[in-house]
Amino acid sequence: MSPVPADLATGNLPTGDADVDALIGREVRRRQSTVQLLASETEPTVGVRAAMASVFDAKYAEGMPGSRYHGGCEVADDLEELAIARAGELFGAEYVNVQPLSGSAANLAVYSAFAQPGDPVLALKLEHGGHQTHGSRANFSGRWFSPLHYEVRREDELIDYDQVRDLALVHRPRILVAGAASYARPFDYPLLRQIADEAECILWVDAAHLAGVVAAGLLPSPVPYADVVTLSTNKVIRGPRGGIILAREQHREALRKAVFPFVQGGPSMHTIAAKAVACAESRTVGFAGYVRSSIDNARALGAELAARGVRVVSGGTDLHLAVIDVSALGISGAQAQYRLRAAGIVVDKAVLPFDTQPVTVGSAIRIGTPVATERGLTPELAPALADAMIGAMSTSEHAAHDRIRREITDVACG
Ligand SMILES: *Cc1c(COP(=O)(O)O)cnc(C)c1O
Domain CATH number, residue 199: 3.40.640.10
Tell which one of 108, 206, 233, 234 to mutate to probe ligand 1, the residue whose CB is within 8 A of the most ligand atoms: 206
Query: What is the phi/psi pair of residue 325, to 5°?
Result: -80, 115
Q: Are residues 267 and 338 in the same domain?
A: no
What atom in ligand 1 is closest to the CA of residue 232? 7
CATH number for the domain including 292? 3.90.1150.10
Ligand 1 pocket test, pick from 131, 183, 229 with the greatest ligand atom count within 8 Å of Cβ, gives 131
Mean pLDDT score of the chain, rounded to an integer?
95
Distance 330 CA to ligand 1 centre (A): 31
Ligand 1 atom closest to the Cα of residue 243 is: 7
For 265-320, the pLDDT digits (tens) are: 999 999 999 999 999 999 999 999 999 999 999 999 999 999 999 999 999 999 99
pLDDT of residue 414: 59
> Per-residue pLDDT averaged across 340-349, rounded?
97
Place 13 in a pLDDT band, splitting at 50, 70 and 90: confident
pLDDT number for residue 402: 97
**Which one of 263, 282, 301 terminates a domain?**
282
Contact assessment for residue 274 and residue 80, using Cβ atoms and an 8 Å cutoff: no
Beta bridge partners of 68: 63
Q: Is 255 annotated as a binding residue?
A: no
Domain boundary among 282, 315, 335: 282
Residue 43 lies in a domain: no
**Which tens digit of pLDDT belongs to each residue from 198-225?**
999 999 999 999 999 999 999 999 999 9
Residues 163 and 274 in one domain: yes
Within this chain, do residues 178 and 311 fall inside the same structural domain, yes or no? no
Pairwise CA distance, residues 136 & 134, whole Å? 6
Both 227 and 330 in one domain: the answer is no
Residue 34's pLDDT band (cuts 50, 70, 90): very high
Give the model's pLDDT for residue 410. Answer: 76
Q: What would the mean pLDDT of 159-183 be, rounded to a whole number?
A: 98
Domain range holding 216? 53-282
Which pLDDT belongs to residue 76?
Answer: 98
Residue 32 within any structural domain of the chain: no
Could you tell me if the CB of 40 is within 6 A of ligand 1?
Answer: yes
Number of domains present in the structure of the chain: 2
**Same domain, yes or no: 127 and 190:** yes
Prediction pTM value: 0.95
Instruction: Tell which atom from ligand 1 comes closest to the C-alpha of 241.
Output: 7
How far away, in angstroms, is 384 Cα from ligand 1 center? 31
For residue 413, name the pLDDT band (cuts at 50, 70, 90).
low
Tell whether the model's pLDDT for residue 9 goes beyond 50: no
Q: What is the pLDDT of residue 12?
A: 72
**Domain check: are 372 and 224 in the same one?**
no
Question: In this predicted structure, what is the pLDDT of residue 5?
Answer: 37
Ligand 1 contacts CB of residue 209 (under 6 A)? yes
The number of CA neighbours under 13 Å toward the Cβ of 117 is 3
pLDDT band of residue 3 (cuts 50, 70, 90) is: very low
- Tell me, yes or no, whether 270 and 299 share the same domain: no
- Conformational region of residue 233, where left means phi above 0, alpha means psi within -120 to 50, and beta covers everything else: alpha
Q: Is residue 182 part of a domain?
A: yes
Backbone angles phi and psi of 48, in degrees to 5: -65, -45
Whether the per-residue pLDDT at 377 is higher than 50: the answer is yes
Do the domain assignments include residue 144? yes
Q: Work out whether the CA dihedral 261, 264, 268, 274 comes out positive or negative.
A: negative
Judge if the beta carbon of residue 355 lies within 6 A of ligand 1: no
Residues 71 and 183 reside in one and the same domain: yes
180 touches ligand 1 (CB under 6 Å): yes
Closest among 81, 115, 114 to 98, alpha carbons compared = 81
Ligand 1 atom nearest the C-alpha of 106 is 9
CA-nearest residue, atom 1 of ligand 1 = 208
Residue 31 pLDDT > 60: yes
Residue nearest to atom 2 of ligand 1 (CA): 208
Q: How many CA atoms lie within 13 A of 183 on its CB side?
A: 29
Which atom of ligand 1 sits closest to the CA of residue 181?
15
Q: Are residues 296 and 239 in the same domain?
A: no
Q: Are residues 241 and 299 in the same domain?
A: no
pLDDT(232) > 70: yes
Provide the CA 293 distance to its chain's centre, in angstroms. Answer: 17
Q: Is the distance from the beta carbon of residue 102 to the nearest atom of ligand 1 less than 6 Å?
A: yes
Phi/psi of residue 73, each to 5°? -100, 10
